[in-house]
Chain A
Amino acid sequence: MDQVTGKQTGQIAAAIAAATGSIGYVRQTGQNTHHRYAYASDEDLARAVNPALVAHGLAIAPVNMTHAREGKSVIVTVTWEIRHSSGESMQMMTIGEDADRGDGKTVYKCMTGARKYLLRLLFCIATGDDAEQHTPAPPAPRLPEPVIPEGQTAQDVLYRMARESAGSDTDRLAKSIDYIDGLTDAQARATLARKQQGTT
């Protein structure tokens, strides 16, 4: 959502294009300790972008900010002005959103988020941490195959194991038989495979 101010934009556009070319991909160093995944932090972006701004005569400043609250969510809308040493300038608006945790930092976190997205959008920066991006679902696991003697079923083998395990404890055997009776064939095969692998 950009709004160009002034008629001349050739020089600022060229400077942004040159900066985009020099920034490239931003390596992720931020760590989400809960889920142990990496993300591009504000510092990662600043480290990559600031030299390009200096080199190409660009400066960025917030010129307006509004915020709104929806339940626990705070949404901050920031208008940024991108100025070029030639005198040309343009404006862009980005949004930052965060949940209010009552720590008094929510608006600042929103502004940081808005700035990160400004830089990512303005300089087409790929970081590989799009918040909406799904990690592709892993394929359905392949179930291990149990070893079943010919002519028997997984349940037959489980009954035999239950008898051996229960010994003279008839109550325990009765409970085991009830349990095995209630299994589907797929459950019996999976249970038997786990028992044979020693993972149950």
Chain B
Amino acid sequence: MIHDWTAAQYHAHDAISASLLKRLRQGAPHYHDPRPVGDSAHKGTAGHALILDPEQFNNEVVILPDINRRTKAGREEYAQFMEAAGDRAVITQAQFDDARRMRDAVLDHPYAGPLLLSARTEISMTWGDRKARVDAVAGDVLVDLKTTRDAGPAYARSIFRYDVHLQLAWYADALALHDIPTRHWMIVAVDNVAPFGVAVYQLPPAAIDAGRAAYEGALELLRTMGPREDGYGPDPIMVEVPTWIK
């Protein structure tokens, strides 16, 4: 089922998602205790909202005013502000300025700009005990937007290191289930710091197949995992020599 959900509504829905499976593949501790969202992630949220869903920006992000927290009055003002912010991502004015530069860089890009401006964005889907929220689909092109420290050619390695291929396979399969088949799978990556460069990466079918195998493996792990384990397991982990070093 496709839902007209805000990000908050989507996140509040308890179901298996690509990000949960990615955490699971990092290890049980990441699954049980997700790392707190950091400053750069908040900046990423702001960039995402400005690019993909500007109408929802004020519902998802709030800009911290200049408050002198060294005074008692300032600390009280800050506490009130944070309470009013609720679940929204709190960013500084400097982070907001960076997010706007990310937005301008992406929308000025000759390929990424028209692709995202013509796309259907922020598509929330649920099926069975699973869910997905896809950044953008333009025709048969699935697009995932990534804000990252370095969007340059080195980012291609991060796609597999951080299971982005798993995420895209999950999204592509979710869309196919909802009669939105995709034939091209793209990542629009933008630097979250100067020089705010933008690159568009296209994944081959083999990467999506590998991503699917990865998420199926993670689902199996989820089905078979035992009671909560702290740490990465009691036994020594055998290190295998990768083929590229032999």
Q: Which residue on A lies nearest to B241, using beta carbons?
A: A70
Secondary structure type dominating chain B contacts: helix
Are the CB atoms of A71 and B214 closer together than 8 Å?
Answer: no
Q: How many residues of A contact B (CB 8 A)?
A: 33
Q: Which residue on A lies nearest to B112, using beta carbons?
A: A140
**A132 CA / B240 CA spacing, docked (Å):** 26
Are the CB atoms of A35 and B202 closer together than 8 Å?
Answer: no
Say whether B57 faces chain A, with CB atoms less than 8 Å apart: yes
CB distance from A7 to the nearest CB of B (A): 34
Contact of A70 among B110, B113, B208, B242 (CB under 8 A): B242
Which of B27-35, B70-78, B114-122 is the contact stretch?
Answer: B114-122
**A72 CA / B152 CA spacing, docked (Å):** 29
How big is the B interface, by class? Answer: 35 or more
Are the CB atoms of A34 and B173 closer together than 8 Å?
Answer: yes
Say whether B220 faces chain A, with CB atoms less than 8 Å apart: yes
Are the CB atoms of B114 and A143 closer together than 8 Å?
Answer: yes
Q: A35-B205, A140-B115, A190-B117 are in contact. Are A179 and B57 (CB under 8 A)?
A: yes
Q: Which residue on A lies nearest to B108, using beta carbons?
A: A186
Q: A35-B182, A143-B118, A179-B55 are in contact. Are A71 and B172 (CB under 8 A)?
A: no
**A190 CA / B114 CA spacing, docked (Å):** 9
Residues in B whose Cβ lies below 8 Å from that of A124: none
Residues in B whose Cβ lies below 8 Å from that of A102: 217, 220
**A82 CA / B139 CA spacing, docked (Å):** 47
Residues in A whose Cβ lies below 8 Å from that of B240: 70-71
Are the CB atoms of A186 and B117 closer together than 8 Å?
Answer: yes
Q: A182-194 vs B: 1/0 string, CB under 8 Å?
A: 1110110010000
Say whether B103 faces chain A, with CB atoms less than 8 Å apart: yes
**A37 CA / B220 CA spacing, docked (Å):** 26
Say whether A135 faces chain B, with CB atoms less than 8 Å apart: yes
Residues in A whose Cβ lies below 8 Å from that of B220: 101-102
Say whether B229 faces chain A, with CB atoms less than 8 Å apart: no
Are the CB atoms of A187 and B206 closer together than 8 Å?
Answer: no
Are the CB atoms of A134 and B204 closer together than 8 Å?
Answer: yes
Residues in B whose Cβ lies below 8 Å from that of A36: 176, 181
Q: B134-167 vs A: 1/0 string, CB under 8 Å?
A: 0000111100000000000000000000000000
Say whether B193 faces chain A, with CB atoms less than 8 Å apart: no
Q: A143-B114, A143-B118, A186-B117 are in contact. Are A137 and B202 (CB under 8 A)?
A: yes
Residues in B whose Cβ lies below 8 Å from that of A98: 213
Are the CB atoms of A37 and B212 closer together than 8 Å?
Answer: no
Q: Which residue on A lies nearest to B104, using beta carbons?
A: A184
**Beta-carbon contacts under 8 Å, A131-147 to B:** 131-135, 137-138, 140-144
Contact of A72 among B113, B172, B209, B214 (CB under 8 A): B214
Complex A-B: 15 CB contacts under 8 Å: A34-B212, A35-B172, A35-B182, A70-B240, A72-B214, A72-B217, A99-B210, A99-B214, A132-B204, A133-B205, A138-B184, A140-B113, A178-B58, A186-B113, A190-B118
Chain B residues at the A interface, C-beta cutoff of 8 Å: 50, 54-55, 57-58, 103-104, 107-108, 110-111, 113-115, 117-118, 138-141, 172-173, 176, 181-184, 186, 202, 204-206, 208-210, 212-214, 216-217, 220, 240, 242-243
- Give 19 new A-B contacts, CB below 8 A, not counting A182-B50, A182-B54: A36-B176, A36-B181, A99-B210, A99-B213, A99-B216, A102-B217, A102-B220, A132-B206, A135-B183, A135-B184, A137-B184, A140-B113, A140-B115, A141-B115, A143-B117, A143-B118, A184-B107, A186-B107, A190-B118
